[in-house]
Structure 1
Amino acid sequence: MSHILVTVEQAAVTLKVHPKTVLRYIREGRLQATRIGKAYRIEQAKLDAFVGVAGARVPSPGDVRATVIVEVPAMAAEQAERMATFIGAAALGGDSRTRPLHFTTAFDPIGGNFKIVLVAAPSDAARLLELIELQLGLTR
């Protein structure tokens, strides 16, 4: 499952409104969002649809992205599910300065291989890779 998630603050910057206005849009049902704990996350595609943008945004030099593929062999299905949930939760962290990241996970139950495809700012990708290593117990 693929996701590009943004915070309320990031949506406010995109919409050029106050974050409380974005929250009002969410409460009124005008803007679809997912509540995670006490915070909301908005799918970039839904924000683009709300704005009326067809995904056409002019990239800036600060939009440098890294694509990382992590393959974990010999993983049990339950462990893969926990790891996918962990990555999703880690991806939801951040504040208005955090650039959105995109990730996909896939698990092959026959071979027991778990793959993570991550597209993010290089520094964000590096931090998430460190978290993955910690979760897998691979740190030295």
Structure 2
Amino acid sequence: MDKGMSVINTVDRKGNNLKITVEGVDDQELAHFGGLDLHVKAAKAMIGNTDGMTFPEKHGDIFIAEKVAALYLNEIGEMLRNSYDDPEYLEELTNIELVKDFFNRIHENKEVLEVVEKDNLLISKSRNEDEI
């Protein structure tokens, strides 16, 4: 396990500058080169940290969790689209439709299921530790 650091300087879709800095342990389980595992770990931590959602819920936006989840899933669909060899083949499909297709076919890929099962065990262990 290597300590890693990643800095992403980018622009959001509205044209605003965005800088993301991540430091932590890169387990190198998904990819045996630096960065990808740390990237996924940081994204999961950001998704799991829902502290900011209680304010909108208290002020009338009872669908804030669903809106945030939809935006995350939409971005996952964009990632899936960009991972295909021929993204033009997918022009007729929305990002959400690509996510649905992914979910419908996930059981066909043993390697992906193993990664998810391992992650579910870590999540369950973390929940149990939080309860204690």
Give the structure with the higher percent strand.
Answer: 1
Give the structure with the higher percent helix.
Answer: 2
The structure showing larger relative contact order (alpha-carbon pairs under 8 Å, at least 6 residues apart) is 1
TM-score bin, normalised by smaller chain: under 0.3
Larger radius of gyration: 2
TM-score (ref. length: structure 2): 0.26
TM-score (ref. length: structure 1): 0.25
